[in-house]
Amino acid sequence: MDAKQENNQHNTVVAVYPGSFDPVTNGHLDIIHRAAKVFDKLVVAVLNNTSKNPLFSVEERVELLRQVTADLPNVEIDSFRDLLINYMRQKNAHLIVRGLRAVSDFEYELQMASTNRKLSEEIETFFMTSTPKYSYLSSSIVKEVARFHGPVADLVPPEVERALLEKYASR
């Protein structure tokens, strides 16, 4: 790698958008598309939270995210099970992307941002507000609607709708 390539690599702004994405919704996808326009590289990182009982495995969530972001060349899909700050160091990233749907999200997100900042002063959190048409949308709501065979086509990408139908057909 020559000096110019190395210098460009050091100037690349890498942001991480962490979450459980169980499943990815149109609201998540809206944040991903918008953040991909702002940062040189966006890593969408699926949290492997062992304390939760997810509908989709980490591998399934990663694969669904890969499918729905295939058109975004600067988006990488990954997973992690460590502290976010440790993962950020592995990725040489200094920015966390978080979506805010409503005022009710802010208190929790502020706590998390402050904790991350306390753990690592070089980490900044970049808040993006939801597009109004997705401000009510959450993965929990999607799962609840899908579980009772309600329509989710306006809530999730088609790939996710198919995966939800398959999951709940077998239950």
- Which amino acids are annotated catalytic? 28, 52, 101, 139
80 contacts 58 by C-beta, under 8 angstroms:
no
Please state, in angstroms and as integers, the Cα–Cα distance from residue 159 to each residue in 35, 41, 52, 89, 115, following that order.
Answer: 21, 24, 23, 32, 35
Q: What backbone torsions phi and psi does residue 133 show, to the nearest 5 degrees?
A: -70, -10
Question: Peptide bond preceding 23: is omega within 30 degrees of 0, i.e. cis?
Answer: yes
Q: Is 94 annotated as a binding residue?
A: no
42 contacts 74 by C-beta, under 8 angstroms:
yes
Q: Is 52 annotated as a binding residue?
A: yes
Q: Is 140 annotated as a binding residue?
A: yes
Please state, in angstroms and as integers, the Cα–Cα distance from residue 133 to each residue in 8, 27, 136, following that order.
Answer: 37, 9, 8
Q: Is 84 annotated as a binding residue?
A: yes
21 contacts 52 by C-beta, under 8 angstroms:
no
Q: Is 127 annotated as a binding residue?
A: no
Q: Is 109 annotated as a binding residue?
A: yes
Alpha carbon distance, N-terminus to C-terminus of the chain: 52
Q: Is 147 annotated as a binding residue?
A: no
Q: Is 135 annotated as a binding residue?
A: yes
Q: Is 155 annotated as a binding residue?
A: no
Q: Is 138 annotated as a binding residue?
A: yes
What are the binding residues for ATP? 20-21, 28, 99-101, 109, 134-140
What are the binding residues for substrate? 20, 52, 84, 98
What are the binding residues? 20-21, 28, 52, 84, 98-101, 109, 134-140
